Amino acid sequence: MKTPISVMFYDTDAAGVVHNIAYLRFIEAARTLLALEYGMDWASMKETSIFPVILRTEIDYRYPALLGDLLEVESWIGEVSSARFWCHFKIHRPSDRVLLVNCNQSLAFVKMPVGKVQRLPKGFPIPFIPPTSQDVVR
Amino acid sequence: MKTPISVMFYDTDAAGVVHNIAYLRFIEAARTLLALEYGMDWASMKETSIFPVILRTEIDYRYPALLGDLLEVESWIGEVSSARFWCHFKIHRPSDRVLLVNCNQSLAFVKMPVGKVQRLPKGFPIPFIPPTSQDVVR
Amino acid sequence: MKTPISVMFYDTDAAGVVHNIAYLRFIEAARTLLALEYGMDWASMKETSIFPVILRTEIDYRYPALLGDLLEVESWIGEVSSARFWCHFKIHRPSDRVLLVNCNQSLAFVKMPVGKVQRLPKGFPIPFIPPTSQDVVR
Amino acid sequence: MKTPISVMFYDTDAAGVVHNIAYLRFIEAARTLLALEYGMDWASMKETSIFPVILRTEIDYRYPALLGDLLEVESWIGEVSSARFWCHFKIHRPSDRVLLVNCNQSLAFVKMPVGKVQRLPKGFPIPFIPPTSQDVVR
C-alpha cells in the first residue's frame, strides 16, 4: 500500500530538513491506513479498549526530505507470530526516486489500561478479526 | 509562576526559528505546572474523567525564539466566571529580556466523554477542589 | 478551499479526544495547500529566505473530534492590509455536520533570519507574486 | 546523565498512555542536554551548518507511561567509529522503578544542506571539538 505525504513546515527543523521524529508520524499515518485496508475497526477497538501497540521500532535514515517534498510511504505487513506482527515501511521521494527511510515496527494488540497482550486471531491479518481473547501471552 | 523552557531541534522549523505550534507546547507545560501549584490532582481527574479543556486560545507572536534559546513562560490565572476561567502567559527570553509571545487561554472543566461543562467550585482557584457536579452550564 | 483530515492516534490525548494543539497542525496543512492554490512557490521562498509567518492565532474550540474522525478544514484568505493578511478556517465533521473549530490567523511575509516584514505585493493574493522588497513596515 | 521528564497531556493518546512518538521527544531532550554536557556548542553548529544527524533509531517499548508520570531518561555515549557514534537511553519511572523504554541511536555530524558526513574529531567525545573537516566518508 502506498500513502502520499506532503512535507509541511511543522515537519522540518532548523537544520533545513525533515526532523527525524516527523517521519514516524508519516509512518503512523501509513500504518493507520494500512490497518483500515485490512478491515480493522477503530470504533470497536475503542469499545473493547484493545489497541494496537508498538513494541519496537527500527528506523534507518538514509537521505533527508525537504520542505515541500511530496513523499510516498510504502507499507506492508510481514512476519506474524502468536501475538506479534511486523509492519515494514519504505519512504521514497518519487520525484528523484530516492529511498529516504527504511523502517520496521513490531506490534501487538493490547487490552488497555491493564496492558494485557492479546493472541492474534487465526489467519491474521487476512481476514482481520479484532482480537477479543484476554489471554496473557507476555 | 515562571517555567523555564529550553528550545530543542524539534521545536524549530526550516525557517530557522521556533515553529508557531511549539510555543503552545511550552504554554501547555507551564499551564500544567501552574495547575499542580494550585493543587489540581491529575490522578483524580483521570478517575472522574473530568478534564480541563481549552475553549479559546489567543496568541500573539512578537519575536521569534531560536534553537538553543533558554526561555521563560510566565503564567497566571485571571478572570473566573461560573464555569470558565482565563489563563495568561508571557514568554520572555531572559538573555535579552525580549517579550516573544503573549497568550490568553480560556478553559473549562469538562466531563468526558459526554462533554458536559462543570461549574467551577466556589472560590476557584484557591483553594482548588476539582469540580464534581455534572450540571450542564453550556 | 476544503482539505480533508483523518484523525490519527497521535492527534488524540488521554482525555479521549483530539488534543487542542493537533487542530493547529490540521490548520497548517490546510493553509499550506491554500497557499499552493494561490501559486505561492515554496522553492523560491527557501531561496529568498522570505517565509510566511504567523503574527496572531485566535482559535475557538466548540466540539471535540475523536479518533478515526474524518474532518474537513475550510480555509480562505480574508482581510489584506499593506503587510498583513488574515486567513480564516472552519473545521467541520461532515458525518454529523458539526462545526468543531473556528480559527483566524494573521500572517505576514518575513525575511529570515533578520525578521524584516515585507510589504505585500499589489493585488495580493491574486495573482500571487512572492514579496521581494525588504521595506521594514513594522 | 539523568534527565527528568514530566508527562503532559500532549504526550498521551486516546489509548490513555504515552504515545510511542512522544518518547522520542523525551530522548531528544535528554540527548541535547547530554551534548551540552560534552561541550557541544549549538551556536557554532548553526554558524558552520554542521548538525548532529540521526542515522538509525532502535527503540523497545516495554511498559507504558501514563499522564502525570515523572520519568527519568538515562543517557550515555557508547561506541564511536570514524564518523559515527551511538547514544544509549533508558527511560525509567522512579516511583515504581519500572524500565519503560530502551533506545539506541546512531548519529553522525553532517554539513547541511549538502549532507556531507564529517569525520569525528580525534578523542571524541572527550574533549568535544565540533568537527570542521568536510571529508565525505559515506
In chain A, domain spans: 2-118
Query: Do residue D42 and residue B67 have CB atoms under 8 angstroms apart?
Result: yes
pLDDT > 70? residue B136 = no
Contact C87, C105 (CB under 8 A): yes
Give me the pLDDT at residue B137, please: 45
Name every residue in C having a CB less than 8 A away from some CB of A: 6, 8-10, 25, 28-29, 32-33, 42-43, 46, 67-68
What's the average model confidence in pLDDT over A68-94?
Answer: 96
pLDDT at C128: 56
Determine the residue type at C131. Answer: P
Residues B92/B72, Cβ–Cβ less than 8 Å: yes
Collapsed DSSP state (helix, strand, coil) of residue D50: strand
Q: Which residue of C has its CA nearest to D20?
A: C10
User: How far is Cα D102 from Cα D124, in angstroms, rounded to an integer?
Assistant: 24
The shortest C-alpha distance from A120 to chain B (Å) reads 29
Beta bridge partners of A81: none
Mutate which: B58, B66, B67, B87, vs C, most C CBs within 10 A: B58
**What mean pLDDT, rounded, does chain B reach?**
89
Q: Which three cell numbers stand for residue B24?
A: 503552545
Average the pLDDT over each of A3-12, A74-83, D29-38, D40-49 and give the range with the smallest value: D40-49
The whole-number average pLDDT for the span A92-121 is 93
Distance of CA A28 to the CA centre of its chain: 4
More confidently predicted of A137 and B125: B125
- pLDDT, tens digit, 9 for 90 and up, residues C5-20: 999 999 999 888 999 9
| Cell (9 digits) for A4 | 502520499
Task: State the pLDDT at residue A112.
Answer: 80
Percent of chain A scoring above 90 in pLDDT: 67
Q: How close D122 comes to chain B (CA, Å)? A: 26
Percentage of the residues of chain B whose pLDDT score is greater than 90:
67
pLDDT recorded at residue A129: 54
H runs (alpha helix) in D5-107: 22-37, 42-48
Q: Is B126 exposed, middle or buried (0-12, 13-18, 19+ CB in 10 A)?
A: exposed
pLDDT tens for residues D70-94?
999 999 999 999 999 999 999 999 9
The DSSP letter of residue C124 is T
A74-83 b/e (C-beta count within 10 Å ≥ 16 → b)? ebebeeeeeb
User: Residue D134: is its pLDDT beyond 70?
Assistant: no
CB contact under 8 A, D15 and C9: yes
Question: Which residues of C fall within a CB distance of 8 Å from D17?
Answer: 14
Spatial CA neighbour of C130 closest among C118, C113, C116: C118
Among B12, B21, B44, which would you mutate to test the C interface (most chain C Cβ atoms within 10 Å of its Cβ)? B21
Q: Which amino acid is at D21?
A: I
C54, pLDDT greater than 50: yes
Encode pLDDT of C22-31 as tens digits: 999 999 999 9
Does residue C65 carry a pLDDT above 50?
A: yes
Beta-ladder partners of B52:
B109
- In this predicted structure, the answer to whether residue A106 has a pLDDT above a threshold of 80 is yes
To the nearest whole percent, how much of chain C has pLDDT over 70?
Answer: 91
Nearest CA-CA partner of C50 in C59, C58, C40 = C40
According to the model, what pLDDT value does residue D135 have?
45
Average pLDDT over residues B14-35: 95
C-alpha cell read off for D90: 533508558
Chain B: list its partners (3+ Cβ pairs within 8 Å).
A, C, D
**Rounded alpha-carbon distances, angstroms, from residue D26 to A107, B105, D11, D14:** 21, 26, 10, 19
Please tell me the pTM assigned to this model: 0.90
Give the 3-state secondary structure percentages of chain C, helix then strand then coil, rounded to 5: 20, 40, 40
In a mutational test of the D interface, the residue from A26, A32, A57 whose CB has the highest number of chain D CBs within 10 Å is A57
Distances (CA, A) of A91 to A64, A69, A71, A97, C120: 11, 12, 7, 10, 37
Contacts of B54 in chain C (CB under 8 A): 20, 61
Full DSSP string of chain B: -EEEEEPPGGGB-TTSSB-TTHHHHHHHHHHHHHHHHTT--HHHHHHHTEEEEEEEEEEEE-S---TT-EEEEEEEEEEE-SS-EEEEEEEEETTTTEEEEEEEEEEEEEETTTTEEEPPPTTTTSS-----------
Which residue in A16, A51, A58 is closest to D15 by CB distance?
A51
Closest residue of chain C to B55, computed from CA coordinates: C61
User: Would the pLDDT of C126 be above 90?
Assistant: no
Complex ipTM tops 0.95: no
| Model pLDDT for residues B39-97, shown as the tens digit of each residue | 787 777 878 888 899 999 999 999 999 999 999 999 999 999 999 999 999 999 999 99
Q: Is the pLDDT assigned to residue A127 strictly greater than 80?
A: no
Q: How far is CA C125 from CA B61, C36, C85, C115, in A?
A: 22, 12, 9, 21
Measured between CA atoms, the residue of chain C closest to residue D19 is C10
Q: Closest-CA residue in chain D for A66? A: D113
- Average model confidence (pLDDT) across chain A: 89
pLDDT greater than 80 at residue C127: no
On chain B, the residues whose CB falls within 8 A of the CB of D130 are: none
Across chain D, mean pLDDT equals: 89
Q: What is the pLDDT of residue D24?
A: 98
Q: What is the pLDDT of residue B42?
A: 77
How close C22 gets to chain A, by Cα (Å)? 11
Q: Which of B2-6, B44-48, D123-127 has the lowest mean pLDDT?
A: D123-127
Q: Which helix (H) or strand (E) holds D57?
A: strand D50-61
Neighbours of chain A (3+ CB pairs under 8 A): B, C, D
| β strands within chain C, DSSP E | 2-6, 50-61, 70-80, 85-93, 98-111, 116-118
Q: Sort out which chain D residues have CB atoms less than 8 A from C14's CB and list them.
A: 9, 12-14, 16-17, 66-67
Mutation choice for C interface testing from D18, D19, D25 by most C CBs within 10 A: D19
**Residue to test with chain D: of B32, B36, B50, most D Cβ within 10 A:** B32
Report DSSP state, residue B124: T
Tell me the residues of C at the B interface, defined by beta carbons under 8 Å apart: 14-17, 20-21, 24-25, 28, 46, 51, 53-61, 63-64, 112-113, 115
Select from A8, A28, A68 the Cβ nearest to the Cβ of C29: A8
Q: What is the average pLDDT score of chain C?
A: 89
Q: Which cell numbers in the block locate residue B5?
A: 523552557
- Considering only the beta carbons, identify the residue of B9, B17, B21 that sits closest to A19: B9
- Whether B15 has a pLDDT exceeding 90, the answer reads no
Kindly report the nearest CA distance between residue A100 and chain D, in angstroms: 11
Q: What is the DSSP letter of A12?
A: B
**CATH class of the domain comprising B2-118:** alpha beta
Q: Is A124 helix (H, G, I), strand (E, B) or coil?
A: coil
